[in-house]
Amino acid sequence: MIIDGHADFRTLLMHHVTTHWPDAIISAYDPTSAGHLPVQFSGAGNDIILLGENQGERDPLLTLRQFTAVQGIPAIIFFGTNRKEQALKAGASAYFQSDNVKHNAFIVRMSDLLRSRQRVASTDSLFVGDAGTGIHPLIKGYRFIKRLAASEHSAVYLAHKESADVKMVLKVLRQVPDVSDGLGAFDRFLQEYEMIAELDHPNIVRIYDLGVSDDHAHIAMEYVPGGDLKLRIEQGVQEHEAIEFTRQIAGALGQLHSLGILHRDLKPGNIMLRADGTLALIDFGLAKRMRLEQEITGHGEIFGTPYYMSPEQGHAEDVDERSDIYGLGVILYEMLTGQKPYLGTDAMSIILKHAKAPVPVLPYRLSQYQVLINMLLAKRRKDRLQNAEEVLAWL
């Protein structure tokens, strides 16, 4: 939104903006003819406000202070004549000389402010009420109970679906086209939904809905209240439970692999326990089609968690379903012993141990599972069990 009394200056600012953002939606306001905006003005619906010093008979710094006193108002760039210190002290996010607006400097500063606003919007500021609770202005039909996790571009929330009177988990991603990698993250988010929407297996989290708008997307999925397998391992897993859990995970992997999908980030934190004790695989953010013509994530990059990475994945080599089988072996070892097979002071030392260190030996009381562990954690892919069906047969 541009607010200034001079039509030529408003046009100049529009030109700067639309030269860089041709699809920008700009509203212009002339306070000299339309009157000053009321104290209730919050800037709602705008990403940024460009405030010129021509405010008629009124001191523009008074208008600036009125705006900046409103909680949640967008960033304000102030344009004046030798009033930089006063404007910044009054709360302006940036200042430019109105008679000498340099295009590149203006666009860079405006981009920075938009980027900052979008980062905040991807988490707390999209919500009315306390952080992560209340009503989302863009996602209708849900009341947000609490935030479960958040990153720069996405957040996961426990929410109540009002029409069905049930709890669900909502994964929300903010579309951030001006942020580096924002578009790639958005594409990966939609790819994740397209993959898991095809899945129908009792040990894979159920997906109910996808919503997409111009600036965000959300996935509504089953709420699994029993905590994750990581916590369960810390509490202690009985031998028979470890084998049953491994059977369920292998079954889920078999379903994934039959559709040409790799998980690539199999770990206890991505496996949840339902109230009935069954497991559900979640978080397919690193999953990929094995036969995609082009990986959205790019070539030669390492994705995943070092403790559970196969040797080939840790060295950024091509991976196949046997990499997920290796991750399952790590989880089985950890469930049986309460310890990870390889530890290190940093990620690289752990990755090297996966590639070079001997397969760990189980305690004597668990020796009946040593052959299975050897075949799951074999360094060379050809020496491992080749697929989930073979794992199930051994179990």
Q: Which residues are catalytic?
A: 265
Specify the amino acid at residue 103. Answer: H
Which residues, in sequence order, are CB contacts of 362 under 8 Å at separation 6+? 333, 336, 337, 369, 370, 373
Q: Taking the CB of residue 54, how many other CB atoms lie within 10 A of it?
A: 19
Report DSSP state, residue 139: S
In the chain the first and final C-alpha atoms are separated, in Å, by 64
CA atoms within 13 A on the CB side of 386: 1
User: Which residues on neighbouring strands pair with residue 167, listed in sequence order?
Assistant: 160
Closest among 128, 129, 112, 137 to 47, alpha carbons compared:
112
Q: Cα separations (Å) of 208 from 134, 167, 196?
A: 21, 12, 10
370 token code pair: 């040593």
User: How far from 339 is each of 243, 247, 329, 330, 351, CA to CA, in Å?
Assistant: 16, 20, 13, 10, 17
Retrieve residue 23's tokens: 């699809």
Residue type present at position 84: K
Q: Please write down the HEC assignment for all residues of 112-127.
A: HHHHHHHHHHCCHHHC
Cβ–Cβ under 8 Å, residues 204 and 255: yes
Pull the structure tokens for residue 177.
């086209």
Bridge partners (DSSP) of residue 8 are none
Bridge partners (DSSP) listed for residue 52: 79
The enclosing H or E element of 105 equals helix 103-121
**Three-state DSSP state, 36:** coil
